[in-house]
Structure 1
Amino acid sequence: MNDKYIIHFISRTRKKMISFIEKKLLENGLNGLIPSHGNILTALYENNGKLTMKKIAEITRKDKSTITPLINKLLEYGYITKEKDETDKRVTYIIITSRGNQIKDKYKAISNEVNITAYKDFSQEEKVIFLKLLKKMNNNFN
Structure 2
Amino acid sequence: MEEPVDPIRTTHRLLLRTFWKLQRAIRNRLEEFGITPPQFSVLVRVGEEGVPLTRLADKMYSDISTVNGIVNRLEKQGLVKRERCTSDRRVVYIKLTPEGLALRQRVMPVHLQHIEERYAVLSAEELATLQELLKKLAGNL
What TM-score do you get using the length of structure 1 for normalisation?
0.84
Superposition pairs of residues 1-142 of structure 1, within 5 angstroms: 2-3=6-7, 4-27=9-32, 30-31=33-34, 33-44=35-46, 47-141=47-141
**Cα deviations by residue, 1:21-51 (Å, 9 ceiling, x for unpaired):** 1211223xx22x211112211111xx33411
CA contact (8 A) 1:84 1:91 kept: yes
Which region of structure 1 is more displaced relative to structure 2, 87-96 or 115-124?
115-124
Q: Which runs of 4+ in 1 moved over 3 A?
A: none
SS in 2 for 1:48: coil
State the alpha-carbon separation in 1 of the partners of residues 99 and 30 from structure 2.
Answer: 16
Aligned length: 136
State the alpha-carbon separation in 2 of the partners of residues 50 and 87 from structure 1.
Answer: 15
Structure number, greater radius of gyration:
2
Equivalent position amino acid for 1:5 in 2: T
SS in 1 for 2:81: strand
Identity over aligned residues, as a percent? 24
RMSD: 1.8
State the alpha-carbon separation in 2 of the partners of residues 126 and 24 from structure 1.
Answer: 26
> Following TM superposition, by how much is the alpha carbon of 1:84 offset from its aligned partner in structure 2, in angstroms?
0.9
State the alpha-carbon separation in 2 of the partners of residues 139 and 118 from structure 1.
Answer: 25
The answer for unaligned runs of 5 or more in structure 2 is none
> Following TM superposition, by how much is the alpha carbon of 1:108 offset from its aligned partner in structure 2, in angstroms?
0.7
SS in 1 for 2:48: coil
> Following TM superposition, by how much is the alpha carbon of 1:117 offset from its aligned partner in structure 2, in angstroms?
2.4
